[in-house]
Amino acid sequence: MNVSFPKKCLYALGQFGLVLCAYSASNLFISFYVTRGFSGTTLFPPLLNDRYFFGFFTITGLIIALGKIVDALGGVFFGWKSDGSRFKKGRRVSFMLISAVPLAICSFMLFFPPSEINIDLNSVYVLVITVLFYVLLSCYATPYLALMTELGQRPKDRLLLATLLACATSFASLLGSRIIYFIEVAAMRYAVQPVTSFKAIVTIYAVISCICMLLPALLINEVKISDSKPVRDSLGLSGRAVLKDKYFRSFLLSNIMFRIAFASTIAGFFWYITRLLGLSVDTALALNSLIFFINLLIFFPVAFFAQRYGKRKVLFFAALMYMLFLITAIFAGRFAINPYAQGLVLAILVSIPYSVFTVIPNAVVSDLTVAAENLTGNQRGGMYFGIHALAEKTGEMFSTLLFPVIIGLGAKSVSPGTEPSHFGLRLTLIIAAIFTFIGFLFLFGYREREVATLFVNKD
């Protein structure tokens, strides 16, 4: 059964709510509990224990790391559980209904620690809420993505859904990032303290997120659009069955390499502009905004070219363009060209492949799920998306650990707040280029035409 465009947009609302929730618990968590200004001050008072454990780890660092681990592993577990569930309202939608409200509650309760004095009590509280949040996030996110396979009956439908998800992600991130602006407005117009306005805004975000996550769960009749049967395999057997898919395995390895490369260069883009090109902080922020808006503008053109020429060819093109960005960035500041022009070129070069790798992967995983179902009779969309998410997050975590070490190489000092060295920054780009090239080679194992022969059109 084909799903109408309005219902596809309704489905994408879930992604908007999901990302806005996740933005609060990740980016805004860092702003509220971790970030300090250059003078050591912040808008918000210290509420967590900031001692170092084992000479290296802080409580906030451990909480963030544990949350990411729970999120990554939880995706596989809940993907498997949703594949085998027998809920009457649908095996994906039911998980979404169960988790949406408590997930939204946790997203703002994270910023309401019980004490203004007892930082140890706050630390335990935030740790518990963070773990609970990421368990619920996995419970919603993986079944939600797996639902895309059932909503998108044809490759072009799945590609459209993936594009709508990319747009929803961008708008949710944009809204989340405006919180400092809202805080400043509240302070100037109504003399509201930053902590009070921050808590009010994240609570409003939670309400918006809850509504957006509930709407597709309540209004999409999964039973009517899908006739797939529950998969009764064990977690291990289901995981092995998915990883035996040679096309998925090749794409997965390719995507891990690209994620490692992208995570490091996106994290370092600010420094490439300010240190290698010697431009101002305001210029770096403006170029980051440019990347965002270019992405938003070309999501649908990316989908058009993928539909016309194939997802694999578009991925190859994006990988080559990303290599061009990396090579250009390695020599940034050494060209006899205006630094502003160099910065603009870098922003444009990184925007296009970033858009491609935002839109295409979800569509590819969805296609592979359908192909495997037609081949085996089992619809393991939850496990496919769960393993895919685990691989992506593992790559990003690896890059997060590796990047700070590399940028410090060659620096005169390793004290906190020290700017990274030119050598370290250029080295991050060289390493990213190596990972990108490896990903490019793995991509040859994903044979889109062979996968397409396994599709069954359900017009």
pLDDT in tens, the chain (459 residues): 678 899 999 999 999 999 999 998 888 888 888 764 433 445 676 777 776 665 556 778 788 888 889 999 999 999 999 999 989 889 999 999 999 999 999 999 999 999 877 888 888 899 999 999 999 999 999 999 999 999 988 999 999 999 999 999 999 999 999 998 899 898 888 888 888 999 999 999 999 999 999 999 999 999 888 878 889 899 999 999 999 999 999 999 999 999 999 998 888 999 999 999 999 999 999 999 999 999 999 999 999 999 999 999 999 999 999 999 999 999 998 888 999 999 999 999 999 999 999 999 999 999 999 999 998 889 999 999 999 999 999 998 888 888 888 887 766 554 445 678 889 999 999 999 999 999 999 999 999 999 988 875 443
Task: Give the per-residue pLDDT at 419.
Answer: 74
Question: Which residue spans of the chain are classified as CATH 1.20.1250.20?
Answer: 1-230, 231-459
Provide the CATH topology of domain 231-459: Growth Hormone; Chain: A; (1.20.1250)
Task: Give the per-residue pLDDT at 98.
Answer: 96
Alpha-carbon radius of gyration of the chain: 22
Superfamily (CATH H level) for 1-230 = MFS general substrate transporter like domains (1.20.1250.20)
pTM greater than 0.85 = yes
Q: Which of 289, 393, 398, 403 is nearest to 351 (CA)?
A: 289
- CB atoms inside a 10 Å sphere around CB 119: 16
Q: Which of 136, 100, 105 is nearest to 215 (CA)?
A: 100
- Please provide residue 52's backbone torsions phi and psi, each rounded to the nearest 5 degrees: -90, 140
Long-range contacts of 302-305 (CB under 8 A, 24+ apart): 302/163, 302/355, 302/356, 302/359, 302/360, 303/159, 303/160, 303/162, 303/163, 303/359
Distances from the Cα of 47 to the Cαs of 86, 125, 243, 293, 355, in angstroms? 44, 11, 44, 35, 37
Distance CA 403, CA 260 (A): 10
Asked if 22 and 179 touch (Cβ cutoff 8 Å), the reply is: no
Asked if 323 and 436 touch (Cβ cutoff 8 Å), the reply is: yes
Long-range contacts of 400-406 (CB under 8 A, 24+ apart): 400/263, 400/267, 402/260, 402/264, 402/431, 403/263, 403/264, 403/267, 403/268, 403/428, 406/264, 406/431
- Please provide residue 285's backbone torsions phi and psi, each rounded to the nearest 5 degrees: -65, -40
Q: Is residue 383 exposed (0-12), middle (13-18) or buried (19+ Cβ within 10 Å)?
A: buried
Distance CA 217, CA 52 (A): 43
Task: Give the per-residue pLDDT at 155.
Answer: 92
Strands 52-53 and 57-58: antiparallel
Longest Cα–Cα distance of the chain, Å, equals: 66
∠ CA 129-96-150 to the nearest 5 degrees? 145
Q: Which of 370, 363, 353 is nearest to 319 (CA)?
A: 353
Task: Give the per-residue pLDDT at 55.
Answer: 54
**Alpha helices in 272-380, H assignment, sequence order:** 281-309, 311-330, 339-376
The distance of Cα 72 from the centroid of its chain, to the nearest Å, equals 11
Residues whose CB falls within 8 Å of the CB of residue 351, separated by 6 or more in sequence, listed in order: 290, 291, 294, 295, 298
Residue 367 three-state SS: helix
Distance CA 203, CA 226 (A): 35
∠ CA 403-405-409 to the nearest 5 degrees? 115
Q: Which of 98, 132, 112, 134 is nearest to 213 (CA)?
A: 98
Distances from the Cα of 299 to the Cαs of 44, 58, 162, 165, 303, in angstroms? 37, 39, 10, 10, 6
The end-to-end CA distance of the chain, in Å, is: 7
Distance CA 219, CA 93 (A): 10
Task: Give the per-residue pLDDT at 40.
Answer: 40
